[in-house]
Structure 1
């Protein structure tokens, strides 16, 4: 049975203490380093970026806040520390 993917828009902001790595983090995200969530950069500045992506449907896609927490946790395991706000496309 095919897996359903949930599209979303994500705004990423530089987190305090990690501002120096923000540009590198955005580049890592847009270069496909996250094989579990393909992301495209829609626009980016020195402190914020907007991405479009999709993740497999699951408990983490129930609400925008659930998905934001899930993504922040997954990114932290890749040593990417960003503040996220997410909107699931319904």
Structure 2
């Protein structure tokens, strides 16, 4: 049975105490080894980035806030990435 993928956009914002690592954090976030949600950068500045991705449908894709928590938890597992996320599921 095929898996349904849910497209979303995400705004990643730098945390004040991690401005120097923002570009490195973005590179790590979008690197190919992150199979849980492949991401493409649509637009970025020195403090914000707009990204687009898709993730398999699941409990975490029911709401924008639920998906944001899910992705933030995934980032928390990688302590070298310090970004705040806002997510919008494309309906």
With normalisation by structure 2, the TM-score equals: 0.91
Q: Within the alignment, does 1:4 sit opposite 2:4 as a pair?
A: yes
Q: Which residue of 2 aligns with 1:38?
A: 38
Unaligned runs of 5+ in 2: none
Shift of 1:78: 1.7
Unaligned runs of 5+ in 1: none
Q: Which residue of 2 aligns with 1:13?
A: 13
Contact 1:72 1:81 in 2 (8 A): no
Summarize deviations over 1:23-54 as a string: whole Å, max 9, x none.
10111122323111100000111110010001
For 2:20 and 2:14, locate their aligned partners in 1 and report how far apart those are by CA, in whole Å. 9
- Tell me, what secondary structure is at the counterpart of 2:60? helix
Q: Which residue of 1 aligns with 2:70?
A: 70
Q: Which residue of 1 aligns with 2:90?
A: 89
With normalisation by structure 1, the TM-score equals: 0.92
